[in-house]
Structure 1
């Protein structure tokens, strides 16, 4: 397919699985994606979630980069209200110096967590209001165009780490358009505003020196298996697993599979399943067709695939099959 294909990895942690095992799986996922021809792997910043181990994206990227050769690696993304722009410039500047040409940086405005955890991060509650200013400050730290100021990022200055604005609403689309930056829409879990956001971004794009043309990446879930029947069965398990994971948040113990199945058709369950609206399901050929049709429909320059299979081995197979199709 003509569209660039990349992958989003949140370092999922299985029930009763050590965090170290989940982080080790990230290396295997990236190595599999590298062999299969993916353009890059993105890592998402989340906090206070026992089933997600990708909270420190820069540290995880450093580890994976040291165990791969050519594949691009990026934060998809760093939730900038949680951090000082200078610190992020230093972290990703260091990564860019260690692994030239392989590092990308996506920037999000949401905290990636709950309110109490956000307070524990020691950031002001209105930090997200400064997001546009913080993006520009970060870009300046990574730039080599401006005269040196009293504060510079070392390493970082002159690395020109590529920046992407993440979003699931018109706010991010408008900001990316006005700044002349690539835009990535999180339609793998927030599909509702996808088309209006992409249209707004394209229609209002202001070309920049770094990006004369607009560039859109779109999140898409993928459940691929050897046969269409096997993929359909796997997708049913994915849906139960998704409901179980989301409705177990804040509980002392995880819901059982049976309890999650009973909640599938409740309003809460249906809302969670609605996040999977844009999901390709099938064997390699079927997934290829669905991926290309979706990319053509929404005008995606890049598909960011989220392989939702519940187990690590099934996820690796889905990665291999969907890229063979690509």
Structure 2
């Protein structure tokens, strides 16, 4: 790809309609952002800090393709899209991606590297093909890329990406109670809840072989993610404690009432239902440039289905 074309793609402005949405929600194009990804729902959310100092949802994008199954990525070649907490810098934006535009998630993060997980170049990118990444279509990633670029230009040194197997509701947690990844997902839910309750980006630390959120450790940040956590001087957030306890009571009630835990139903990845309809109507070639001009509902009951038509490509 020519450098001129790459530059043109990378410098596309934020669409005027989205700037208007920001204005209506008391946000500026330069304000910090936060991204959340949900595999099962095949959705990506872009949140932006408004004038209150808290984050509010800017837009939800349908995801065209992700590969693997629910659960973390642990090794090179497993085709798993990662789950966890990542931080994207300006240097991780890739204007010359063969998948239109992309940004690197930074997998493996410090915790994953300490656990011996392997793999690299895990991206959110354009097109509609994945072997471990999150594919948003060219139009979708162009919009997300522009919003992220302007936030980083505005002074945000990194923006956080939170990648989840599903929306961390009590109902979903109960359904997946018997999954071997349940303990890991319970840890992710702590960060999910921290953001849901406060609408502020959680501070992420690593110790005890897991993520720790909004901690203030004696002696500073732990250097060894696998060592026991130092004493934490941060006071517990009463609202967060109340939410966690209420969710656990709901999970227990659902399980006692006969909700059957289920295993992950896909054979390989998923696709948002809106793109499956396009696939059926127009064929696979139409999907890479399919536009994501409109938002989708914040949550959907449908699980994204595996797509046997998509041919995996090297990221």
Report TM bin, short chain.
Answer: under 0.3
Q: Which has the bigger relative contact order, CA under 8 A and spacing at least 6?
A: 2
Q: Structure 2 length as normaliser, TM-score?
A: 0.27
Q: Structure 1 length as normaliser, TM-score?
A: 0.26
Query: Higher helix fraction: Structure 1 or Structure 2?
Result: 1
